[in-house]
Amino acid sequence: MEAMGELSAKLREWIEYFEEAREVRRRFANWEFIKSQPPKLRVALEYFIEVGDLYNAAKLAGMSVEEFNELRIKAGIPSVG
Amino acid sequence: MSASAVADTSFLIDWARYSRSKLLFKLFDVVFIPESVLAELRSERTLTWVAQGLEEGKLAVLPELPDASREALQLVARSRRLPVRPVDYPEAYCLVVGRELGYAVLTENGGALAVRDYDPNFASVEVLRALDILYRLWKLGHVESFRRELEVYERETKRLYTARDLAKYGDAL
Amino acid sequence: MDERKLREWVERLREAREVRRRFANWEFIKSQPPKLRIALEYFVETGDFRTAAALAGMGADEFVDFARLEAGIPLVY
């Protein structure tokens, strides 16, 4: 019972951590740059801001992880979490 | 019924236009999208739908699996030797993966539908069109009227189901 | 190979082409610049959106939207 309580406390901690990370990404992102991108890249960047998932964001953009990482840096989005 | 499915381009570019597209996840826990399919998508609407699905954990990207990829290429070549519309790589990959991993294959592609019918290597694959999905949703009580929902779907996607397509669901229409 | 099924599909796809031909907005199609006109005509004849999209220089989904919404071509198989 105690172990379950500990588990859900840990889970809550992680959820909060990821939510804070998303807020940071949103706040620092260069939205002007993002909105000027073609749909494929724009959607991928927005997805990355929301989820912080480099792998799938790169897939959405049709890029390698490394290429997309360069793009998110250009877009001012910090890698958090 | 499979709890997972793999969707090709022809299915996704229709389904993403459907106003009740989230109903798909009443039938499947996860729908996989092969990388080769994702690479073909460029429109904001479809990509946004995919991004949302990834965010919600309902969609997942299926990477290239070398053995499946090899067999898909063989299927692409083989289908070109026949007098019927050939199948292209993304659909061929979906069929192979569907068979190997037991995923339902979601497609509207004539070449892929034909392969399922005439090629004994793929006879075991569950291939579903939006028509079939809507029928199952109706049977499970997620839509009120199969006929009306189909009309909505056809109107929103400009996908036309022929009398021959609809014949198997005659009683429900 | 199931020969009977194969023949059935040849017939189905032929019927699909008839449907596309009948419903397509030919006035719109003929008014398009060559690149797009050829792509749309190819799509009406074959239903092969992938090659048609490549001919038009568009993404697959972009082309399908163009074909179905602007050129009135219904999607059949």
3-class DSSP state of C48: coil
**Which of B80, B79, B83 lies closest to B96 in space, CA to CA?**
B79
Report d(CA A43, CA A71) in Å as an integer: 13
The reply to whether B70 falls in a domain is yes
Domain around A36: 2-74
Q: Quote the number of domains for chain A.
A: 1
DSSP B86: P
The reply to whether A51 falls in a domain is yes
Report d(CA C17, CA C42) in Å as an integer: 11
Supply A44's token pair.
């991928």
| Confidence at residue A2, expressed as pLDDT on a 0 to 100 scale | 63
| Confidence at residue A31, expressed as pLDDT on a 0 to 100 scale | 97
| Residue B167 with chain C: CB contacts under 8 Å | none
CB A57 within 8 A of CB A48: yes
| Confidence at residue B121, expressed as pLDDT on a 0 to 100 scale | 94
pLDDT tens across B44-80, in order? 999 999 999 999 999 999 999 999 999 999 999 999 9
The reply to whether A70 falls in a domain is yes
> B residues 70-99 near A, CB within 8 Å?
none
> A11-45 burial, b for 16+ CB within 10 Å, e for fewer?
eeeeeeeeeebbebbeeebeeeebeebebbbbbbb
Residue A57 has pLDDT above 60, yes or no: yes
**Which of A48, A61, A59 lies closest to A21 in space, CA to CA?**
A48
* Chain pair B-C, CB pairs under 8 angstroms: 96
Share of chain B above pLDDT 90, in %: 88
Is B43's Cβ below 8 Å from some Cβ in A?
yes
**Band of the pLDDT at A15, cuts 50, 70, 90?**
confident
The reply to whether B86 falls in a domain is yes
3-class DSSP state of B80: coil
**Which of B74, C9, B50 lies closest to A56 in space, CA to CA?**
B50
The reply to whether A21 falls in a domain is yes
The reply to whether B9 falls in a domain is yes
Residue B19 has pLDDT above 90, yes or no: yes
The reply to whether A79 falls in a domain is no
Predicted ipTM of the assembly: 0.87
Domain CATH for B122: 3.40.50.1010
CA distances from B112 to A50, B161, B167, C54 (A): 35, 16, 20, 20
The reply to whether A81 falls in a domain is no
| Confidence at residue A49, expressed as pLDDT on a 0 to 100 scale | 96
pLDDT tens across B116-150, in order? 999 999 999 999 999 999 999 999 999 999 999 99
Residue A13 has pLDDT above 90, yes or no: no
Residue B95 has pLDDT above 70, yes or no: yes
- pTM of the predicted model, to two decimals? 0.89
Tell me which chain C residue has its CA closest to the CA of residue B47. Answer: C61
| Residue A59 with chain B: CB contacts under 8 Å | 35, 38, 61
**Please, what is the average pLDDT of chain B?**
94
The reply to whether B15 falls in a domain is yes
| Confidence at residue B82, expressed as pLDDT on a 0 to 100 scale | 87
The reply to whether B59 falls in a domain is yes
Average pLDDT score over residue span A20-37: 94
Q: Quote the number of domains for chain B.
A: 1
Domain around B30: 4-129
Average pLDDT score over residue span C14-31: 96
